[in-house]
Amino acid sequence: MRFYWLLILFPVVLGIEQAALAQNITTDGTTSTLVINGNLVVPNGRGTVRGNNLYHSFDKFNVPESGVTFGVGNSRVDGLNIRNIINRVSGDNPSAIFGKIQSGRDFPNANFFLINPSGIVFGSNASLDIGKSFYATTAPTLGFASGEIFNSDLRNSSFPTTNPINVQFTVERPAAIINQGNLTVRSGENISLIAGSVVSTGSLKAPNGSVDLGAIAGNNTVILRSPGFVTGLEVRAGTLGQRWTGSITETAATSESVDR
């Protein structure tokens, strides 16, 4: 397994309160998404599909210990053709993931993106059953090959048709990702956790793939790169803020804390 560690040291206030971790999933009305019984997320009708991307947008996204399944339901969406399931949280609360996120059954060829600028917490029972790779970020913006963006600001919302190529931290102090769970993807796939601060006391496993952890200062763009799609991270040259005084390191000793 290959490990890519990109660490930008920056003081971050976590600010994740227990009261924000209510266990519920609600949509924000900007995508054709249905939430059934609180634990099944499916497209409504044709869904919000652009190219091979399926979009869901939530006001709150919290997964109970019983887990959540992403499926096609009775929609007209062909899950085999979806390459990216892109999920944003536009509300003000962090996401608490206390159970399994399952999408691999109906979307075996799809990467799974979770975007919440308010923060993401994976509890001790959090796990994954994803068709391809898993990406969680607190960046407000996801950039695409076409130059378009998918933004957590609903006033500037679009749904690009091309592949995601970067995450854009357009705030001074990005929120944190905390992992206490056991996050595993299938052989050859990748896990990326990209936030203002990343704290992982749990397990991250990507057999024959990569585990990428990025702790990113504000007002930076992180490029997602690989020969095919995404297997690593790099900060775009010239995007570091003028007042940033940290350093970028790649530390082999640090990577030993991640399970192989």
Span 79-100, pLDDT tens digits: 999 999 999 999 999 999 999 9
pLDDT, tens digit (0-9, with 9 covering 90-100), for 14-36 = 333 344 444 599 999 999 999 99
Is this model's pTM higher than 0.85 or not? no
Question: Is residue 100 included in any domain, yes or no?
Answer: yes
Q: Does some domain include residue 193?
A: yes
- Whole-number pLDDT of residue 222: 84
On whether residue 258 sits in a domain, the answer given is no
Does the residue 259 lie in any domain?
no
CATH of the domain at 30: 2.160.20
Number of domains in the chain: 1
DSSP symbols for the chain: -EEEEEEE---------GGG----EEE-SSSSEEEETTTEEEE-TT-EEETTEEEEEEEEE-B-TT-EEE--TTSS--GGG--EEEEEE-SSSPEEE-SEEE-TTT-TT-EEEEE-TT-EEE-TT-EEE-SS-EEEE--SEEEETTS-EEESSGGG----SS-EEEEEE-SSSPPEEEE-SEEE--TT--EEEEESEEEE-SEEE-TTSEEEEEE--SSEEEEEE-SSS-SEEEEPTT-S-TT----EE--HHHHTTS--
State which residues form the domain around 66.
2-253
Q: Do the domain assignments include residue 260?
A: no
In a domain, 248, yes or no: yes
Residues 149-159: pLDDT tens digits?
A: 999 888 877 99
Residue 140: inside a domain, yes or no?
A: yes
In a domain, 60, yes or no: yes
